[in-house]
Structure 1
Amino acid sequence: MSAGRIRVGIGGWTYEPWRGTFYPDKLPHARELEHAASRMGAIEINGTYYSSFKPESFRKWADAAPQDFIFTVKASRFCTNRKVLADAGESVGRFVNQGLAALGDKLGPILWQFMPTKKFDREDFGAFLKLLPEKVDGVALRHALEVRHESFEDAAFVALARDTGAAIVFADKAGYPTIDEATADFAYARLQSAEEEIETGYSAAALDDWAKRAKGWAKGGRDTFVFMINGAKVRAPAAAEALTARLD
């Protein structure tokens, strides 16, 4: 079986320190997404974590990106930042139905991010996973789970994710659990340890290692998404382009 497609990207596209480092100084703000999408393989939409948007917004974003581009979408905090996850059904429905389908074939996985203080509860988490829809308006949905408490380093959590077909996010950040398990037909990684004093965020050796790891995730046909997130955010675009060059 051939390897899956590897896409490297960044989180969001609006960040003032990127002007003059990633964006040309005089580039109109309205064209920042167009510029970013022309240089990246994917972008993680983070604004949806804080607010809801209309279908017209998703359609506009899709129109600004190249034909073969992918957006992943961060789920609303109202879905995941709660004491009882099993009660999130209404919030999940509201989030999914706000207009995600307007992205069409540019819609990638949905990222469900949980608070670092959220502990693994097998029954409650299992009930939450059953709330995640397979489709919205005829568009297939894929789900990625970013858990950030050590209690999720549990075979029962891995089994739940695998039964649901949801990917467990590989998080490169000190203090977060590192779970490298193939539980879905795609892989999702968020690299969060870039250093500002390094022009590409990560050293050449580290980027070589990440390229090797990404190729390993893509083995067997798994599409793979690797995002440069936080750390030294000003270096995220350069880190993404440097990693992409190694994969090409």
Structure 2
Amino acid sequence: MRRADVRIGISGWNYPPWRGKFYPEGLPHRSELAYASSVFKTIEVNSTFYRLQTPTTFARWFEQTPDDFVFAVKAPRFITHVKRLREISAPLANFFASGVLRLEHKLGPILWQLPPSFRFDADLLADFLKQLPRDTAAAVHAARKHDDKLRTEPWLKTPKEQPIRHALEIRHESFLVSDFITLLREHEVALVCADSVDWPLVMDVTSKFIYCRLHGSKELYRSAYDAEAIDLWARRVKAWALGRTPVESRLVGQPEDISRRRDVFVFFDNTDKLQAPHDAQTLIERVQRFTIQAKS
């Protein structure tokens, strides 16, 4: 049986307060991604949420990271927060034409984060999920429909066809219905397991991989995770990776047989006060310790 790929990292890497603390004193700013990717096997890209990047930028990120590194890419808020998933054919094309595919084999899951005011609408969501490209060939096809709002030369190629994974983060209680879980499973889209003080924490498995975002459960984006909390998340990661349902899971839909192993992505988004790098490194150590104990 294939071993699950467990990747634990941070959300973003360009934070001035980290300089001289997480980042070594005097490290050039241009070298921060290279340093962070030497510590973590994955990082969630935030800048793509705020504006379209360019193929040159994606190429630079590709070149600065190890060959076995994986980026998770946050999709544009223009699609999720401005258009609110309506009339998105051109914006979706612009996103995939902007150079995302330049990440090649380092392109991991695409994160779609809905705003807190966005309520569950089954028809709207189903239409959106149908439009998401499931592999790089489909993404190139979609990208060809870009419009003149793309301010750069489009990137419309990929050296090797590969699947594209999608994860959806909700922030409104109206999504806590079984129809939503069923819809995600039908489209093979991961429900983001988001730990925060403000938004629902649900743990239904809806795809072949798990995507977690740890925002700080006591103070949003700020609070650290103590040893007890890190141990809890380590046990959850281990359970998912082994094809089991974690104990004390909050489920909305019918439990799914998850007997096959799942790849797991965990990103610490408690980036204020330098919490994220420390917590991510601690969780990596705890997961590795659990793995060693299981083998002994």
Equivalent in the alignment of 1:246: 286
Task: Please identify, of 79-88 and 120-129, the stretch whose mean Cα deviation from structure 2 is larger.
Answer: 79-88
**Distance in 1 between the 2:273 and 2:111 partners?**
19
Deviation at 1:195, TM superposition (A): 7.2
Select which of 161, 174, 177 maps to 2:200.
177
1:79 aligns with 2:79: yes
1:144 aligns with 2:167: yes
**Distance in 2 between the 1:232 and 1:76 partners?**
22
Deviation at 1:101, TM superposition (A): 1.1
Q: Which amino acid aligns with 2:26?
A: K
> Structure 2 stretches of 5 or more lacking a match?
141-160, 243-259, 289-296
1:161 aligns with 2:184: yes
CA RMSD of aligned residues (A): 1.8
Deviation at 1:231, TM superposition (A): 6.1
Which stretches of structure 1, 4 residues or more, deviate above 6 A after TM superposition? Answer: none
Q: Higher Cα Rg: structure 1 or 2? A: 2
Select which of 211, 235, 240 maps to 1:188.
211
Q: Secondary structure at the match of 2:131?
A: coil
Contact 2:195 2:217 in 1 (8 A): no
**Distance in 2 between the 1:5 and 1:75 partners?**
23
Compared with structure 1, are the counterparts of its residues 183 and 223 closer, same or farther at alpha carbon in structure 2 (3 Å cutoff)? same
Equivalent in the alignment of 2:46: 46
Q: Secondary structure at the match of 2:238?
A: helix
> Structure 1 stretches of 5 or more lacking a match?
none
Q: Which amino acid aligns with 2:57?
A: S
Contact 1:167 1:188 in 2 (8 A): yes
> What TM-score comes out, normalization by structure 2 length?
0.79
CA deviation profile, 1:136-162 (whole Å, cap 9, x unmatched): 243421100001001011111111111
Contact 2:11 2:44 in 1 (8 A): yes
Select which of 275, 282, 286 maps to 1:235.
275
Equivalent in the alignment of 2:253: none
Q: Which amino acid aligns with 2:19?
A: R
CA deviation profile, 1:202-237 (whole Å, cap 9, x unmatched): 111111111001111222221100000036451100
1:68 aligns with 2:68: yes
Q: Secondary structure at the match of 1:66?
A: coil
Q: Secondary structure at the match of 1:130?
A: helix
Equivalent in the alignment of 1:226: 266
**Distance in 2 between the 1:83 and 1:93 partners?**
14
